[in-house]
């Protein structure tokens, strides 16, 4: 026959009463302290995530989940609301039924914020290193191409020249500029130049800078947000490529673009050694470079 422990029931009732009927001051203070700590950790956490993304890493699902939960807690402004209610509370003899309501909310939120704080270590943000893309993927091209060997060798030599940063192929439509560009891209000498990224992008008429930035970022596996400005995207590309050797092929460009907004400007790296950034373009108009 089952027995009922009336004493344990009383103990549970007393424990609950001691929480919900007590004056809430100490719990309100604890919640405010922990909420401020969580805000500080979230700021540091976001900084660590941004740094990881700039270095070509992706944040794990677990990290993203904690970030969303912490941001939700902060955005609800529970601490501020409780602070206002507590200051407005008028207790008769130091207590009123408002104490029950405040204690109930504070107890729940204290548990939630302490759990969030215990789950994160800002000094060790969990990220997963993306597999580096291959430096270059051979482009499909007809094997029956003839008459381009001289130009091919000339331009490959210019790519090898440390003083050349932008190389242009100009001419009328249909004369084989894209074919020549592909031959250069696939040339065995290019693989010997130790470029960490060899990127092929088709610009075409009407192509906007933002699309070029997006296409380049995808090829080097850098995350860009859709709502970022051109300058923000340029900053991310520059920071990501500043210590990398990169060869960019831009086929069929019509517009004028600024190299630094593609992260391809020649600047000294932080270690004092200038990295190789080369751009080879094809365009129809035999005019000044469409890059500056």
Q: Which region holds residue 232: left if phi is over 0, alpha if psi is between -120 and 50, else beta?
A: alpha
Residues 214 and 99 in one domain: no
Examine residue 200 and state whether it is found in any structural domain, yes or no.
Answer: yes
Examine residue 95 and state whether it is found in any structural domain, yes or no.
Answer: yes
Write out pLDDT tens, residues 67-109. 899 888 888 776 676 666 666 664 444 444 466 667 777 778 8
Write out pLDDT tens, residues 164-204. 889 989 888 888 899 999 999 999 999 888 888 999 999 88
Residues 92 and 46 in one domain: yes
With CA atoms as reference, report the closest residue to 215 among 206, 204, 227, 203.
203
Q: Where are the alpha helices (DSSP H) in the chain?
A: 6-20, 25-54, 61-75, 78-88, 97-119, 149-160, 177-186, 188-191, 209-220, 230-241
Residues 112 and 216 in one domain: no
- Kindly state the tokens that stand for 111: 């548990």
Exposed e or buried b for every residue in 173-202, given b needs 16+ CB within 10 A? eeebbbebbbbbbbbeebeebebbbbbbbe
Q: Which domain holds residue 53?
A: 6-129
Residues 153 and 278 in one domain: yes
The stretch 262-282 carries a mean pLDDT of 75
The answer to whether 254 and 205 are in contact (CB under 8 A) is: yes
Residues 211 and 255 in one domain: yes
Residues 167 and 276 in one domain: yes
**Residue 125: what are its φ and ψ, rounded to 5°?**
-65, 130
DSSP 271-283: TSPBPPEEEEEEE
Residues 161 and 124 in one domain: no
Task: List the CATH number of the domain containing 230.
Answer: 3.40.50.300
Examine residue 140 and state whether it is found in any structural domain, yes or no.
Answer: no
Domain boundary (98, 129, 160) is at 129
Domain boundary (100, 129, 158) is at 129
- Pick from 21-25, 72-76, 160-164, 232-236: least confident: 21-25
Q: Please report how many Cα atoms fall inside a 13 Å half-sphere around the Cα of residue 80, on the Cβ side.
A: 6
Residues 57 and 96 in one domain: yes
Examine residue 187 and state whether it is found in any structural domain, yes or no.
Answer: yes
Residues 168 and 222 in one domain: yes
Residue 122 pLDDT level (bands cut at 50, 70, 90): low
* Overall number of domains in the chain: 2
Examine residue 73 and state whether it is found in any structural domain, yes or no.
Answer: yes
Examine residue 114 and state whether it is found in any structural domain, yes or no.
Answer: yes
Examine residue 136 and state whether it is found in any structural domain, yes or no.
Answer: no
Residues 85 and 153 in one domain: no
Residues 163 and 270 in one domain: yes
Domain boundary (101, 129, 157) is at 129
Q: Is the pLDDT of residue 285 over 70?
A: no
Residues 122 and 156 in one domain: no
The stretch 231-247 carries a mean pLDDT of 89
The answer to whether 99 and 27 are in contact (CB under 8 A) is: no
Examine residue 228 and state whether it is found in any structural domain, yes or no.
Answer: yes
């Amino acid at each position: 026959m089952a027995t009922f422990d009336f004493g344990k029931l009383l103990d549970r009732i007393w424990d609950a009463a001691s929480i919900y009927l007590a004056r809430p001051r100490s719990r309100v203070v604890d919640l405010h302290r922990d909420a401020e700590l969580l805000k500080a950790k979230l700021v540091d956490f976001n900084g660590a995530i941004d740094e990881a993304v700039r270095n070509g890493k992706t944040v794990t699902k677990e990290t993203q989940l904690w970030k969303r939960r912490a941001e939700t807690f902060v955005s609800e402004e529970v601490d501020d609301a409780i602070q206002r209610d507590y200051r407005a509370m008028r207790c008769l003899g130091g207590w009123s039924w408002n104490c029950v309501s405040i204690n109930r909310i504070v107890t729940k939120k204290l548990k939630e914020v302490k759990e969030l704080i215990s789950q994160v270590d800002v000094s060790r943000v969990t990220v997963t290193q993306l597999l580096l893309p291959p430096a270059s993927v051979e482009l499909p091209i007809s094997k029956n191409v003839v008459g381009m060997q001289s130009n091919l060798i000339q331009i490959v030599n210019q790519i090898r020249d440390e003083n050349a940063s932008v190389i242009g192929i100009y001419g009328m439509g249909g004369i084989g500029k894209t074919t020549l560009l592909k031959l250069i891209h696939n040339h065995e000498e290019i693989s010997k130049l130790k470029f960490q990224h060899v990127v092929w992008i088709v610009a075409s008429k009407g192509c906007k800078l933002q699309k070029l930035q997006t296409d380049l970022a995808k090829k080097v596996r850098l995350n860009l947000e859709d709502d970022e400005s051109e300058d923000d995207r340029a900053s991310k590309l520059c920071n990501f490529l500043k210590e990398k050797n990169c060869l960019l092929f831009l086929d069929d460009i019509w517009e004028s673009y600024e190299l630094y907004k593609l992260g391809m400007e020649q600047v000294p790296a932080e270690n004092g050694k200038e990295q190789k950034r080369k751009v080879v373009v094809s365009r129809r108009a035999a005019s000044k470079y469409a890059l500056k």
